[in-house]
């Protein structure tokens, strides 16, 4: 998969082609569609030992049972539009949603215009807009990208399980994480995937996506990077499912988000090869910069000044 912002000198130039399609299916036999999705899940190859695979299959099938939209979503895989056997082309980024046209309330995206109402008076005395306002379109693209990256993370878990990251091009997402995380197991990676969903859930509740732990910091950094690329390159969905989200002149003030959402940018130091080992709070470098514990086993511990999330919340996949 072609990664944003990555290309070594010996790699061939990559031309990206965007396919835009809107397909309406008429379902005449709901039970048959559900059975087809259940059978497809059962026949899908998942990574992991027998017990782990059984758990994944059970969770995926449970999500489909009694839910036509989930069943169609499973079957409508955009990566299958072009056969994997066609040489010289591979699927890169994908994002899609499935809506029930006979039940608009089931739309896969919330009403961001109502959740993030913009004042816009620009008066210094105004409590609402004297500072930064998260606009509906910014919230929408962040939510969409968070969910897309969560799906890619879950796909990596299914495809690779506990395998270490070695061939970077074979991974959808976790090759873009710091190298210190590359040998984590499937359990760790599922929690990392859920961090993206947690940020999306914040946005869909009308809240800012403020990271509560290192895993959410990394998730937000990647979400911001992909969201900006999506907006700049025209595949954020504003000409499709998000076209009705209200538009404002200052929709995409990317630099402001880093100041408003992050307490610091310490986690990015894990990408610096000259600072190898800085994640360990016992090292001199870590103590010098005072960044705290960024070892992989600490990534899901809440920051002291943030409220922990409910440990009983489910995994989406």
pLDDT in tens, 90-131: 776 666 777 776 665 555 678 999 999 988 666 777 777 667
Instruction: Spell out the long-range contacts of 174-179 with Cβ–Cβ below 8 A and sequence spacing 24 or more.
Output: 175/3, 176/3, 176/6, 176/222, 177/218, 178/218, 178/267, 178/270, 178/271, 178/279, 179/270
Average pLDDT over residues 239-254: 90
Length of the chain: 317
**Domain of 309, in residue numbers:** 108-317
CB atoms within 10 A of CB 126: 12
The percent of residues above 70 in pLDDT, for the chain, comes to 89
Residue where the block lists tokens 């990392």: 192
Instruction: Please give the Cα distance from 296 to 183 (Å, whole number).
Output: 10
Per-residue pLDDT, 6: 40
Encoding tokens for residue 261?
């959402």
192 in a structural domain: yes
Encoding tokens for residue 87?
């040489």
73 in a structural domain: no
Residue 12 has pLDDT above 70, yes or no: no
The percent of residues above 90 in pLDDT, for the chain, comes to 57
Residue 10 has pLDDT above 60, yes or no: no
Encoding tokens for residue 76?
């409508």
Q: Among residues 151, 174, 141, which one has the least CA distance to residue 257?
A: 141
Instruction: Please give the Cα distance from 51 to 17 (Å, whole number).
Output: 39
Geometric angle at alpha carbon 75, from 73 and 78, rounded to 5°: 80
Per-residue pLDDT, 240: 81
Per-residue pLDDT, 153: 96
69 in a structural domain: no
124 in a structural domain: yes
Yes or no: say if 182 and 170 are a contact pair by the CB < 8 Å rule.
Answer: no
Q: Among residues 169, 171, 214, 210, which one has the least CA distance to residue 191?
A: 214
Instruction: Please give the Cα distance from 191 to 212 (Å, whole number).
Output: 13
Instruction: Please give the Cα distance from 298 to 293 (Å, whole number).
Output: 6
86 in a structural domain: no
Residue 193 has pLDDT above 50, yes or no: yes
Residue 234 has pLDDT above 60, yes or no: yes
Average pLDDT over residues 217-236: 95
Average pLDDT over residues 191-206: 97
115 in a structural domain: yes
Q: Among residues 292, 295, 149, which one has the least CA distance to residue 222?
A: 149
Per-residue pLDDT, 21: 74
Collapsed DSSP state (helix, strand, coil) of residue 233 = helix
- What is the number of domains present in the chain? 1
302 in a structural domain: yes
Yes or no: say if 46 and 60 are a contact pair by the CB < 8 Å rule.
Answer: no
The mean-pLDDT minimum among 10-14, 181-185, 186-190, 272-276 falls in 10-14
Instruction: Please give the Cα distance from 180 to 286 (Å, whole number).
Output: 15
């Amino acid at each position: 998969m072609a990664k944003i912002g990555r290309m070594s000198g010996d790699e061939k130039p990559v031309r990206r082609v965007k396919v835009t399609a809107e397909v309406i299916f008429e379902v005449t036999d709901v039970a048959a569609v559900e059975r087809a999705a259940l059978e497809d899940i059962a026949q899908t190859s998942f990574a992991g030992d027998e017990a782990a695979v059984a758990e994944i299959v059970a969770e995926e099938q449970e999500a489909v049972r009694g839910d036509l939209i989930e069943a169609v979503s499973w079957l409508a895989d955009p990566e299958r539009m072009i056969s994997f056997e066609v040489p010289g082309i591979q699927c890169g980024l994908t994002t899609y949603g499935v809506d029930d046209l006979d039940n608009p309330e089931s739309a896969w995206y919330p009403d961001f215009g109502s959740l993030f109402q913009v004042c816009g008076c620009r008066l210094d005395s105004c409590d609402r807009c004297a500072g930064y306002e998260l606009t509906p379109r910014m919230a929408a693209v962040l939510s969409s990208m968070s969910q897309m990256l969560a799906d890619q993370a879950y796909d990596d878990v299914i495809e690779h399980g506990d395998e270490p990251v070695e061939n970077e091009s074979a991974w959808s997402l976790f090759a873009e994480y710091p190298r210190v995380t590359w040998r984590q197991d499937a359990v760790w990676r599922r929690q990392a995937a859920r961090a993206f969903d947690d940020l999306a859930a914040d946005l869909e509740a009308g809240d800012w996506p403020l990271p509560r732990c290192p895993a959410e910091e990394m998730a937000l950094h990647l979400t911001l990077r992909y969201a900006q690329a999506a907006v700049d390159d025209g595949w954020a969905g504003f000409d499709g499912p998000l076209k009705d989200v209200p538009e404002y002149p200052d929709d995409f003030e990317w630099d402001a988000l880093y100041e408003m959402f992050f307490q610091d940018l310490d986690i990015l130091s894990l990408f610096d090869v000259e600072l190898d080992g800085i994640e360990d709070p016992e090292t001199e470098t870590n103590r010098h910069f005072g960044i705290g514990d960024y070892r992989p086993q600490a990534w899901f511990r809440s920051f002291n000044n943030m409220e922990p999330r409910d440990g009983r919340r489910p995994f989406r996949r």
